[in-house]
Structure 1
């Protein structure tokens, strides 16, 4: 009887541990306005089959500062935001490219490898000020152009989507 009870306890403990492990990395549901929707081939969701992020959720991801010039700004600007790869890892993305869509429905395709080859960020601020829609926000895909001058090409510039609202993992 005691060994059977111990066996049940072990199975119960194993079940609890597996349950906790499967939800330990679950995404919280946004409590503020949704800034970014991520869909497509992702394993971690929080709203239906998508992952929605509010500002605080994005700020909780690995942040990076990129100090660079861009064709859209005067001089060098300090951009800050989550690394693209941090967003991909948060949603457990499985694909080869992202379809990044702006508020005006402009879209560009970015190879996922770009987020691992370079410190590409989804900038939320520029020079310490939150990016508003009129400032290319709320999110702006920023490559480290000054760090890697070869990125200043038409192909990469078209990937620098501003006013990002949605990402689809393909």
Structure 2
């Protein structure tokens, strides 16, 4: 006789009836365990099933990743995203674990937005950079001499 098929078993509504030879057993479905005769949800998140973020759902769990990471096909572990592949920086980009950092070429400095580069005004740093006149250029500077003089080999002095 199949007690499960004929509903002649004594399993609680939260339990599953399993027919056996000469009887039946009451069990819980996957993701639940039997506590005091009742099937209660197992909080899989307490057992470190996910590498980063975990959400317990009835009978199961769901993993997700922090910003800067992607969920792997195993649906449990996360891999670093190489944000530099999307060229977020004006000059140079260094991928870091979970993020990235921008850098600038010589003669430029990183702007407040962290991605663009602003030209440094080298001429504004010192009035002694050039002997006569300093002209700022993108990423650099040029020294100019007055009429009748030429720029010496050092690129800064006038003769």
TM range (shorter): under 0.3
Which of 1 and 2 has higher RCO (CA within 8 Å, sep 6+)? Answer: 1
- Structure with higher Rg: it is 2
Structure-1-length-normalised TM-score? 0.21
- Name the structure with the higher helix share: 1
Structure-2-length-normalised TM-score? 0.22
